[in-house]
Structure 1
Amino acid sequence: MSPHATDDALVAAARAGSSVAFARLVDRHQQPLRAFLRRTCGDWSLADDLAQETFLTAWSRLGSLKSGASVRAWLCGIGYRKHLTAARTRGRNRVREAAWLAERPPSIAPMSDERMTLETVMADLPLDQRACVALCLAADFSHAEAAETLGLPLGTVKSHVTRGRARLLEALGDDNDGR
C-alpha cells in the first residue's frame, strides 16, 4: 500500500482487516485529534488517553464510517463524545477530580501570561462552546465540519464560535473583534 494512499483507500483496506492501513490512518490523524482533545479538555494527559480510546473505538467501528466521509471529523466526533463522557464522570465524582488535579504533572516549561490566560478562558467556556472554538479556530475546521463532528446544529456552532472568540479576545485585552 502506498504511503500516499487516500483516507478512503486506507479505510477500505482496514475494513478488510489490514492493521497496517489502520496504523497509517492513526499516524495521519493522531496529532490533529490530540491537539483538538487537548484544547477541548485542557489536560494533555487526559487528552492523550482519550485519543487512544478514540482509536480503539474507531478500529471496532470502522464499518460505521460512511463512504467518502472525513476520517478526521469522524475521529474528532468519537473523541469529543469520549470527552463528554469523561467530563460527566468527573462531575459525578468530585473526589476523583480532586485526586486527578493533585496528580497532574507540572509543566515542563513555564507558560507565557498570554497562553495561561487563553488556557484559563478556554477552561471556563462551556463544553460545547470550547469544542467549537477548538475545532474552528485552532484546528481549521469549517463550521459545517464542526457541526457534523459534534452533532450540533450549524447555527449553534456559529454562535458558540462567535461567543468563544469574543471571550478570548476580551481576555487578551483586544476589544477590536476583527471588524
Structure 2
Amino acid sequence: MDGAETDVDLVRRARAGSDRAFSRLVERHQAAVRGFVRRFLGSGWAEADDVAQDAFVAAWASLRTLRDPAGVRPWLCGIAWRKAQDRIRGARRGAARDAGWLEAVSLPAGVAAEEKMALQDAMAELPVDVRACVALCLGDGWSHSEAAEALGLPLGTVKSHVARGRTRLLTALGGSDDA
C-alpha cells in the first residue's frame, strides 16, 4: 500500500485483522497522543510513553467501538485521557495508602511533627520495592521471608532493601544506624 492511505483505510484494514495497518495508525498518531499526555500529566516522556502505550493497547482491543474512523485521532486522545486519569487516581490512592500507613505507625514518644513529616518525605523518596519491604517488615512487623514471598523477591533482596530503607529513614529523622 502507498503512503497516501487515509485513517479510514487503515482503520478498515485494522478491523479486518491487519496488525500492520494498526501499526501505521500508531505511527501516524503517537506524537500527538504522547504530547497530549505529557502536557496533561506534566511529567516526562517516560510516563507519557507508558500511558500512551496503554492507550494504544486499549484502542487495539476496542477498535470496533470507534464510530467514526475519520476521527481516530480524537478517539485515541480520548482513550489516552482516560488512561492518564487512571494513572493520576492510582498515584493518589498509592499516596493515600502510604500516608495512612505513616499515620498508623507508632512513633516513639517525643517524636515531633517535623520529624514525622521528614519520615513521610523519606518514605516517599524510597524506591517502590524498598518502600514495600520497609512497609511490610518495619511497619507491619512481617518477617523477611513473609515479605519475600508476598512481593516475589529473593530473601536476600528483601533483607538488603529493609536495611537500606531503615538507614535512609533514620537519616531523615537525624538518627544513626548504630544499633
TM category (shorter chain) comes to 0.5 to 0.7
Partner of 1:12: 12
Larger radius of gyration: 2
How far the C-alpha of 1:4 sits from its partner, in A, is 1.5
Give, in whole Å, the separation in 2 of the partners of 1:60 and 1:69.
Answer: 18
How far the C-alpha of 1:100 sits from its partner, in A, is 8.0
Give, in whole Å, the separation in 2 of the partners of 1:26 and 1:100.
Answer: 35
Partner of 1:35: 35
Partner of 1:80: 81
Give, in whole Å, the separation in 2 of the partners of 1:19 and 1:39.
Answer: 29
Give the paired residue count: 102
Aligned-partner residue type, residue 18 of structure 1: S
Q: What's the TM-score once normalised by structure 1's chain length?
A: 0.52
How far the C-alpha of 1:101 sits from its partner, in A, is 6.7
Aligned-partner residue type, residue 37 of structure 1: V
- The 5 A counterparts of 1:141-156 are none
What is the percentage of aligned positions where both structures have the same residue?
A: 44
How far the C-alpha of 1:67 sits from its partner, in A, is 2.9
Q: Deviations over 1:126-146 (max 9, x none)?
A: xxxxxxxxxxxxxxxxxxxxx
- The 5 A counterparts of 1:47-58 are 47-58=48-59
Q: CA RMSD in A?
A: 2.2
Partner of 1:91: 92
Structure 1 unmatched ranges of 5 or more:
104-179
SS in 2 for 1:93: helix
Return structure 1 stretches of 4+ with deviation > 3 angstroms. 98-103
Give, in whole Å, the separation in 1 of the partners of 2:125 and 2:40.
Answer: 17
Aligned-partner residue type, residue 67 of structure 1: D
Partner of 1:151: none
- Does structure 1 retain, via aligned residues, the 8 Å contact 2:7–2:70? no
Q: Deviations over 1:18-54 (max 9, x none)?
A: 1110010000000010000000001122111000011
- Does structure 1 retain, via aligned residues, the 8 Å contact 2:15–2:63? yes
SS in 1 for 2:3: coil
Partner of 1:24: 24
Aligned-partner residue type, residue 39 of structure 2: R
Q: What's the TM-score once normalised by structure 2's chain length?
A: 0.52
How far the C-alpha of 1:68 sits from its partner, in A, is 3.9
Partner of 2:110: none
Structure 2 unmatched ranges of 5 or more:
100-120, 128-179
Aligned-partner residue type, residue 56 of structure 1: V
Aligned-partner residue type, residue 3 of structure 1: G
